[in-house]
Structure 1
Amino acid sequence: MAHYLAELYTPKPAWQALDAAGRQAFFEAIGAGMAALSALGVEAIALGETDATKMHPAPYRFFAIWSFPDNAALDALLQGIAASGWHDYFDTINASGPGTDLPGHLAQLAASR
């Protein structure tokens, strides 16, 4: 069953203090780790900057939406993100789980307490 992850993140002061060379080195390390994750079926669906002009905007500056063939691949990405030092530089919130269709989701909502 396919799993999904929606990340919201915003830079911390440590990121803002990092110079261009430090940021580039960090991005190179992130890129190097993505090859192994891609082999597991990890797919970035969309990444970008949030639009604060939309109704009910998130208090985070950036977003990423990921797709995974299973929970193990999702866990591999989360572990890779943590190991990279990402959370030292970005305040992050995650929402993840298996995907369903609209009728399935409406049934989840109807059953919620």
Structure 2
Amino acid sequence: MNQYLIELYTPNSTWKGLSSDERTQYLNNVGAAMGQLTELGVKALTLTQIDSQVDQSSEHQFLGVWHFPNEEARDALLTGIKASGWYDYFDHVNAAGKEGNFAEHLEALSKI
């Protein structure tokens, strides 16, 4: 079943303390590792800066929205993110879930 992941993240002081060359090298390594994950069906739907002007916006600076064909592919990305040291450089929040529709969502909300 299709899975989705939303990431919200902001560079922290450790990231800001890296030199430009260190940041570039780190990001090049992250980019190279992503090639392996695309073979599993991992798709970045968008990776962008957050529009802070919308109502109730998160205080984070960046947004990632991912699609996966299954939980295994999702977990492979999450394992890679953690192993890369990403959480050392960014204040980060994940939200993950399976594909659903509006009627299912309303039903789930009504049962809470």
> What range is the shorter-chain TM-score in?
over 0.9
**Residue 56 (str. 1) matches residue 56 (str. 2):** yes
Q: How far apart, in 1, do the equivalents of 2:63 and 2:92 lie?
A: 9
* Cα offsets for 1:5-64 (capped at 9, x unmatched): 000000110111111100110111101111111000000001111111110010111000
Query: Secondary structure of 2:55's match?
Result: coil
Structure 1: gaps of 5 or more residues: none
What is the aligned partner in structure 2 of residue 82 from structure 1?
82
What is the aligned partner in structure 2 of residue 46 from structure 1?
46
What is the aligned partner in structure 1 of residue 108 from structure 2?
108
Q: How far apart, in 2, do the equivalents of 1:45 and 1:108 lie?
A: 26
TM-score of the superposed pair, with normalisation by structure 2: 0.97
What is the aligned partner in structure 1 of residue 21 from structure 2?
21
* Cα offsets for 1:58-107 (capped at 9, x unmatched): 01110000000000110000000000110110010000010111112111
What is the aligned partner in structure 2 of residue 94 from structure 1?
94
Q: CA RMSD in A?
A: 0.7
What is the aligned partner in structure 2 of residue 70 from structure 1?
70
Amino acid at match of 1:104: E
Moved over 3 A (4+): none
Q: How far apart, in 2, do the equivalents of 1:27 and 1:85 lie?
A: 11
- Count of equivalent residues: 112
Q: How far apart, in 2, do the equivalents of 1:2 and 1:60 lie?
A: 26
Q: How far apart, in 1, do the equivalents of 2:13 and 2:4 lie?
A: 29
% identical equivalent positions: 41
Task: Please report how far the alpha carbon of residue 108 of structure 1 lies from its aligned counterpart in structure 2 after TM superposition.
Answer: 1.5
Structure 2: gaps of 5 or more residues: none
